[in-house]
Amino acid sequence: MSVLILCTANVCRSPMVAFMAARPARLVVDSAGTHVTPGMSICEVSAQMLASGDGGLDYAQHFRSRSVQLLDLSHYSLVLGATRAIRSETVQQNPAVRNKAFTIQEALILLREGLTEAEEVVFRQEGPAPVMIARRGTTATPGELQGRMIKSREHPLDLVDGHIERKKRRHQATLQRAAAMGTELGSALLQWQDSVNGALAQNP
């Protein structure tokens, strides 16, 4: 599986999610931005947070932003936007990715339940996206996310840019959420992959 994480400038949210999701080292997770100045370093707050984790300092030092427009999206199993607007813009510009494009939070909701036997067959043949598409409309948004939307006036499926308000505490909170989302994403995808591999081992 290969996953592309998208935000706006590709210096904050998407590189944080991508780094945390790829830490198990069995997933290919890239990041890019929809409105990018190519070659920018990761933001200072992100770099500080990453420096405390294994491999994070090297990742931050060598990271450079890149535009999604320079990538061939057909190579990715999933294309995950930080917000609904980023997902929509990406699909408008790349209609072929419609059936594998989600927000990061939407993907997490759809990935939380383990695979049924029928879903394992689909996953093995076509990857995670068709399974997630089939689950749309039958998987409710958790009440905790609905409560967060009411409290913060942010949509529960959006990971909003912490740079906007130019408040360090808000920025840090956004990055902490991004890191947690990345960790959960990597874990969930590997659980699906291991489930299928286990089924194959039992029924070669």
Q: Where do we find the tokens 């409290």? A: 151
Give residue-wise pLDDT tens across range 153-178.
Answer: 678 999 998 776 567 788 899 999 99
Question: According to the model, what pLDDT value does residue 26 have?
Answer: 84
Question: According to the model, what pLDDT value does residue 67 have?
Answer: 98
Query: Which parts of the chain register pLDDT below 70?
Result: 140-153, 164-166, 199-204
Buried b (16+ CB within 10 A) or exposed e, 165-175: eeeeeebeebb
Question: According to the model, what pLDDT value does residue 149 have?
Answer: 46
Which tokens in the block code for residue 122? 């689909």
3-class secondary structure, 28: strand
